[in-house]
């Protein structure tokens, strides 16, 4: 299935997700309503709620709680993004000014907190403790990932294992929450629910590794932010970890200088981007992303065939091939 066919399968539910997002992003307070509308209008692929809805549909559930939880997931995701942009001092998100660039850090911190509280208020309204447990655990892991990453920023000795642990916490756990919630809504058994959780975890890892590659190999019009943003923010991602580990000693010094600089057009940054291409480290990371994508698909092998299952099988391939 291509992305259009996937979203067509859950089109009505995705419309409900958007309506719920718009409704929950309003508080009758002009500032909150303006920022909430700005965030809703920023778009995004909505892949996380799509995974939740498809997982539920595959397990036999197609009711109103799915879109509501899809909106909860998007609010949590939005909250993490606005907080991340403050931490990273990012001025651009999805091709336009970030919330902190528009309204300042103080307001944006509070808006992120408001989004978190709104999302958990919605989830609490479902009166299902297991749903809350999954969402709280995923959110806690995301915060832990951000804290671990901050302690390692600029560290040239970060290992592949450490980076994957950060990626799992910051990105993959929210994906796994989506797919697991689909199983919970569909009253899947313990074994099937665990398979769905692992499906999302592997999809999330593939997604983050592709993001790491695109940050070094794509262009600003596709990324919606400057190329090399991770370098600017002091983040050593897997293509650079491979370059330092397997390249020449001078490459380590070059990466160090690029991490120290705050110039998007610096010769050191451009030299690092060229080395990533010349040494094919980005290609190696993409191979690893494909392995996670395959692992995700393997998690669905014991589910009965259906259109929803076929859509979930297509999502990992769509992720590793996106924007290429």
Write the pLDDT tens digit of every residue in 98-110.
999 999 999 999 9
Is residue 323 very low, low, confident or very high in pLDDT (cuts 50, 70, 90)? low
Give the whole-angstrom CA distance, residue 216 versus residue 153: 17
pLDDT over 90 at 289, yes or no: yes
Q: Give pLDDT tens digits for 62-72.
A: 999 999 999 99
In sequence order, which residues have a C-beta less than 8 Å from that of residue 195 and are 6 or more positions away?
A: 299, 300, 302, 303
Give the whole-angstrom CA distance, residue 57 versus residue 261: 48
pLDDT over 70 at 263, yes or no: no
pLDDT over 90 at 91, yes or no: no
pLDDT over 80 at 227, yes or no: no
Provide the residue range defining the domain that includes 223: 3-321
Query: Which of residues 297 and 259 earns the better pLDDT score?
Result: 297
pTM for the full predicted model: 0.94
- Please give the share of the chain, as a percent, with pLDDT higher than 90: 74
Give the whole-angstrom CA distance, residue 244 versus residue 86: 28
Q: Provide mean pLDDT across the span 291-317.
A: 97
For residue 91, give both structure tokens. 């001025």
Q: Give pLDDT tens digits for 126-167.
A: 889 999 999 999 999 999 999 999 999 889 999 999 999 999
Give the whole-angstrom CA distance, residue 169 versus residue 141: 5
Q: Give pLDDT tens digits for 272-286.
A: 989 998 899 999 999
Could you tell me which of 204, 212, 203 has the C-alpha nearest to residue 286? 212
pLDDT over 70 at 324, yes or no: no
Q: State the CATH number of the domain containing residue 203.
A: 1.10.600.10
Neighbours of 323 (CB within 10 A): 12
Give the whole-angstrom CA distance, residue 90 versus residue 218: 18
pLDDT over 60 at 115, yes or no: yes
Give the whole-angstrom CA distance, residue 138 versus residue 3: 26
Give the whole-angstrom CA distance, residue 136 versus residue 142: 10
Q: Give pLDDT tens digits for 152-208.
A: 988 999 999 999 999 999 999 999 999 999 999 998 989 999 999 999 999 999 999
Q: Is the torsion defined by CA of 286, 289, 294, 297 positive or negative?
A: negative
Q: Are 186 and 62 in contact (CB under 8 A)?
A: no
Query: What are 265-271's contacts with CB under 8 Å, separation 24+?
Result: 269/228, 269/231, 269/232
- Among 182-186, 220-224, 230-234, the range with the most confident prediction by mean pLDDT is 182-186
Q: Which spans in the chain are helix H? A: 3-9, 11-24, 30-41, 47-58, 65-87, 99-103, 105-125, 129-152, 160-167, 173-185, 190-217, 220-223, 229-232, 238-246, 249-260, 267-278, 281-298, 307-321
Count of domains in the chain? 1
Radius of gyration (C-alpha) of the chain in whole angstroms: 20
Give the whole-angstrom CA distance, residue 65 versus residue 185: 8
Q: Provide mean pLDDT across the span 262-274.
A: 80
Query: Which of residues 232 and 194 earns the better pLDDT score?
Result: 194
| 300 phi, psi to nearest 5 deg | -100, 5
Q: Provide mean pLDDT across the span 261-278.
A: 82
- Among 251-255, 262-266, 292-296, the range with the most confident prediction by mean pLDDT is 292-296
Identify the pLDDT of residue 221: 67
Neighbours of 220 (CB within 10 A): 14
Q: Are 307 and 9 in contact (CB under 8 A)?
A: yes
Could you tell me which of 204, 194, 174, 158 has the C-alpha nearest to residue 59? 194
- What number of residues does the chain have? 324
CA angle 228, 230, 233 (to 5 degrees): 115
Identify the pLDDT of residue 262: 67
- Among 80-94, 171-185, 209-223, 245-259, the range with the most confident prediction by mean pLDDT is 171-185
Give the whole-angstrom CA distance, residue 195 versus residue 163: 24
Identify the pLDDT of residue 267: 85
Mean per-residue pLDDT over the chain, rounded: 92
């Amino acid at each position: 299935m291509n992305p259009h066919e996937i979203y067509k399968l859950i089109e009505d539910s995705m419309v409900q997700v958007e309506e719920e997002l718009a409704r929950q992003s309003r508080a009758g307070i002009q500032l909150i309503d303006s920022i909430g509308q700005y965030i809703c209008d920023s778009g995004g692929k909505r892949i996380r709620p799509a995974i939740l809805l498809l997982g539920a549909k595959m397990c036999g559930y197609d009711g109103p709680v799915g879109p509501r939880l899809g909106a909860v997931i998007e609010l949590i995701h939005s909250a993490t993004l606005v907080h991340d942009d403050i931490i990273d001092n990012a001025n651009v998100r999805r091709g336009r000014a970030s919330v902190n660039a528009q309204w300042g850090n103080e307001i944006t911190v509070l808006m992120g907190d408001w989004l978190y509280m709104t999302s958990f208020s919605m989830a609490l309204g479902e009166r299902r403790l297991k749903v809350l447990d999954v969402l709280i655990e995923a959110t806690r892991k995301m915060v832990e990932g951000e804290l671990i990453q901050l302690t390692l920023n600029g560290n040239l000795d970060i290992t592949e294992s450490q980076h994957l642990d950060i990626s799992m916490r910051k990105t993959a756990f929210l994906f796994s929450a989506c797919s697991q919630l689909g199983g919970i809504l569909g009253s899947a058994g313990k074994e099937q629910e665990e398979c769905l959780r692992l499906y999302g975890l592997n999809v999330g890892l593939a997604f983050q590794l592709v993001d790491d590659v695109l940050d070094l190999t794509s262009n600003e019009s596709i990324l919606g932010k400057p190329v090399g943003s991770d370098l600017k923010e002091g983040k050593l991602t897997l293509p650079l970890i491979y370059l330092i580990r397997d390249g020449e000693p001078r490459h380590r010094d070059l990466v160090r200088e690029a991490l120290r600089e705050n110039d998007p057009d610096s010769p050191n940054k451009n030299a690092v981007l060229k080395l990533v291409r010349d040494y094919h480290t980005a290609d190696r990371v993409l191979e690893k992303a494909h392995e996670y994508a395959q692992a995700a698909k393997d998690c669905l092998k014991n589910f009965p065939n259906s259109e929803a299952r076929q859509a979930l099988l297509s999502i990992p391939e769509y992720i590793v091939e996106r924007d290429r």
